[in-house]
Amino acid sequence: MAGLYIHVPFCAKRCLYCDFFSNTDAGYVKPYLSALVREMELRKGYIGGEALETVYFGGGTPSRLCAEDLGQIMEAVGQCFDLSQCKEITLEVNPDDMTEEYVQSLRALPFNRISMGVQSFDDDDLRFLNRRHNGQQAVEAVELCKANGFSNISIDLIYGLPEQQTAEKWAANLEQALRLDVPHISAYHLTYEEGTALHRLLDRGEVTPADEETSLALFSSLRETLTREGYLHYEISNFARPGFISRHNSAYWRGENYVGLGPSAHSYDGESREWNVSSLPLYLKGIAEGGATEERETLDVSSRYNEFIITRLRTMWGVGYADVLRLFGEEYLAFLQGQAAAFLRRGLLEERDGGICLSGEGYFVSDGVMRELLWVSN
């Protein structure tokens, strides 16, 4: 089975740290909707007729679209793809879009999972991040979704903000998240991506990133707090109550096929990866002319091995030796075991179920561990 990702490239305003492609010009909505439906027809063959297991509306801010527009997209999805076995249809939303009327209108659509960009419940954090909502709005938005029958809700949080985010503030954020009793929490460390307003502040010396010790302490308290409360730490940044692991993202990490529609969306068919242009005018022009792919890369065996390591090692299921042998052969398995040996001795990796996975301590330094396990072609 395969996944479908739909990129909705609209935001009311840009957040300080964000490097996802989006546009604040709502005048593009109607042309985008027409082009998206056309793209579906053009690209429905990409996954070779496989049934969809998941559909994910990401962005941007999909909740900038009205329920009628979202319904129109889902109707086209149903006409172009096999939804008979689809188990999860996620809509990313922002708290300030979640009025009673809007949430009720979403209930009439096939969405069964809400992913809400909360980022923080602290108003100072939210102002710094240039978010549109405040902490109270985030709480009310989650409660509203629950009251209207959405039980599968995920919230995103950000930690590691410059200076202002103390351990106490982060703990208060986590306590508030726990009070809301949502079954899924994603927590990401703030990153300074080139081209963002945050990066420009960094360049001008107007922000000081959290130091490594603070970041590790915040991550440690995240992991300890949520696992103590019964959440599975199933991927570096993701925690779920049993039965609520994100099927869509897990399929990415298992290397399953997916097709991405909309500007900047990526697609993967097991052999190659391709992505659309990150521009609304170019996307509209491309679709009118037969396609909006900006680039396609065919993955050779070492690239596929490296992707396999990066995606699997992020998860609690880790990297199975038998899978590496089956997919890449003895040379790659011997390389992996040789490279992993030192990390196993240091307790950063653990051997489990015929493979390796990151230990609790290993999660703190996952980038460094992964780097050493990657195949570098000469």
Q: Does position 199 bind ligand SF4 by CB under 6 A?
A: no
For ligand SF4, which is the closer residue by CB, 59 or 263?
59
Residue 115: CB minimum distance to ligand SF4, A: 11
Alpha carbon distance 372, 332 (integer Å): 13
Alpha carbon distance 349, 343 (integer Å): 5
Residue 134: CB minimum distance to ligand SF4, A: 15
Q: Does position 11 bind ligand SF4 by CB under 6 A?
A: yes
Binding span for ligand SF4 by CB under 6 A among 12-20, 138-146, 169-177, 342-350: 12-20
Query: Closest Cα partner for 260 from 278, 237, 247, 239?
Result: 278
Distance in angstroms between the alpha carbons of the first and the last residue of the chain = 36
Number of residues that bind ligand SF4 (CB under 6 A): 11
Q: Does position 18 bind ligand SF4 by CB under 6 A?
A: yes
Residue 358 neighbours by CB under 8 Å, 6+ apart: 236, 313, 318, 348, 349, 350, 366, 369
Residue 18: CB minimum distance to ligand SF4, A: 3
Alpha carbon distance 67, 93 (integer Å): 12
Residue 94: CB minimum distance to ligand SF4, A: 6
Q: Does position 15 bind ligand SF4 by CB under 6 A?
A: yes
Would you call 309 exposed, middle or buried from its count of C-beta atoms within 10 A (0-12, 13-18, 19+)? buried
Judged by CB under 6 A, the residue of 6, 7, 22, 219 near ligand SF4 is: 22
- 158 token code pair: 């950000």
Q: Does position 321 bind ligand SF4 by CB under 6 A?
A: no
Judged by CB under 6 A, the residue of 4, 53, 59, 62 near ligand SF4 is: 59
Residue 161: CB minimum distance to ligand SF4, A: 14
Residue 8: CB minimum distance to ligand SF4, A: 9
Binding span for ligand SF4 by CB under 6 A among 32-40, 54-62, 160-168, 181-189: 54-62
Residue 14: CB minimum distance to ligand SF4, A: 5
Q: Does position 14 bind ligand SF4 by CB under 6 A?
A: yes
Alpha carbon distance 333, 329 (integer Å): 7
Binding mask 265-304 for ligand SF4 (x = CB under 6 A): ----------------------------------------
Q: Does position 259 bind ligand SF4 by CB under 6 A?
A: no
Measured at the alpha carbon of residue 368, what is the angle toward residues 367 and 370, in degrees to the nearest 5? Answer: 65
How far CA 159 is from CA of 164, 173, 186, 369, in Å, comes to 11, 10, 11, 22
For ligand SF4, which is the closer residue by CB, 140 or 307?
140
Alpha carbon distance 333, 93 (integer Å): 42
Residue 348: CB minimum distance to ligand SF4, A: 31
Q: Does position 94 bind ligand SF4 by CB under 6 A?
A: yes
153-159: strand order across its sheet = 232-235, 238-240, 184-189, 153-159, 113-119, 88-93, 52-59, 2-8, 258-261, 266-268, 272-276, 293-298
Judged by CB under 6 A, the residue of 3, 62, 95, 117 near ligand SF4 is: 117
For ligand SF4, which is the closer residue by CB, 39 or 97?
97
The DSSP annotation for 87-150 comes to -EEEEEE-GGG--HHHHHHHHTSS--EEEEEEE-S-HHHHHHTT-S--HHHHHHHHHHHHHTT-
Binding span for ligand SF4 by CB under 6 A among 11-19, 177-185, 196-204, 252-260: 11-19
- Give contact residues for ligand SF4 (rule: CB under 6 A): 11, 14-15, 18, 20, 22, 59-61, 94, 117
